Copies of this chain bind each other. A is one copy, B any other.
Amino acid sequence: MTSIGNTEDAGSLISVTVIGTGLIGTSIGLALTEYGVRVHLQDVHAESVRIAEARGAGTALAPERQTDLAVIAVPPQSVRTALADAQRRRIARHYTDVASVKAALPAAGADLGWDASRFIGGHPIAGREHPGPGAARSDMFRAKPWILTPSADTSQETIATARRLIGLCGADVVTMQPEAHDRAVAMTSHLPHLVSSLMARLLRSYDHRALELSGSGLRDFTRIAAGDPDLWTDILGSNATAVLGALENLQHDLEMTRRILHALAASPGAAEAAEAPAYRELLRRLLEEGRAGQLLIPQKYGAAGRAYDKLQVLLTDREGELARLLADVSELNVNVEDLWIEDSADSPVGLAVLSVDAGMASMLSDWLAERGWPVLGESMSADPVAGRV
Contact = CB atoms under 8 A, between A and B. Distances in A.
Interface in A208-237: 208-233, 235-237
Given A233-B280, A339-B339, A187 B213 contact: no
B341 A296 contact: no
A220 B224 contact: yes
A344 interface: yes
Contacts of A346: 143
Interface string A284-301: 111111111111111111
Nearest to A146: B213
Given A221-B224, A293-B225, A197 B137 contact: no
A1 interface: no
Interface residues of A, number: 159
17 contacts: A22-B388, A76-B389, A129-B384, A130-B379, A185-B213, A188-B215, A194-B257, A195-B199, A218-B297, A222-B293, A227-B385, A229-B287, A233-B287, A237-B276, A247-B257, A337-B343, A339-B341
Contact of A300 (B197, B333, B345, B376): B345
A12 interface: no
A231 B287 CA distance: 10
Q: Which of A204, A222, A247, A333 has the most CB of B within 10 A?
A: A222
Given A198-B286, A215-B189, A386 B128 contact: yes
Interface residues of A: mostly helix, strand, loop or mixed?
helix
A90 interface: no
Q: Which of A143, A211, A213, A280 has the most CB of B within 10 A?
A: A213
A29 interface: no
A389 B221 contact: no
A382 interface: yes
A24 interface: yes
A202 interface: yes
Q: Which of A145, A219, A235, A303 has the most CB of B within 10 A?
A: A219
Copies of this chain assembled into the complex: 2
A336 interface: yes
A204 B292 contact: yes
A361 interface: no
Contact of A288 (B222, B229, B330): B229
Contact of A229 (B215, B217, B291, B337): B291
Interface string A138-173: 010011110100000000000000000000001000
Contact of A197 (B192, B286, B318): B286
A231 B389 contact: yes
A237 B264 contact: yes
Contact of A202 (B147, B283, B293, B386): B293
A319 interface: yes
B339 A343 contact: no
Contacts of A130: 379-380, 382, 384-385
A284 B233 contact: yes
Contacts of A318: 336
Q: Which of A174, A188, A227, A251 has the most CB of B within 10 A?
A: A188
Contacts of A338: 340-341, 343
Contacts of A241: 265
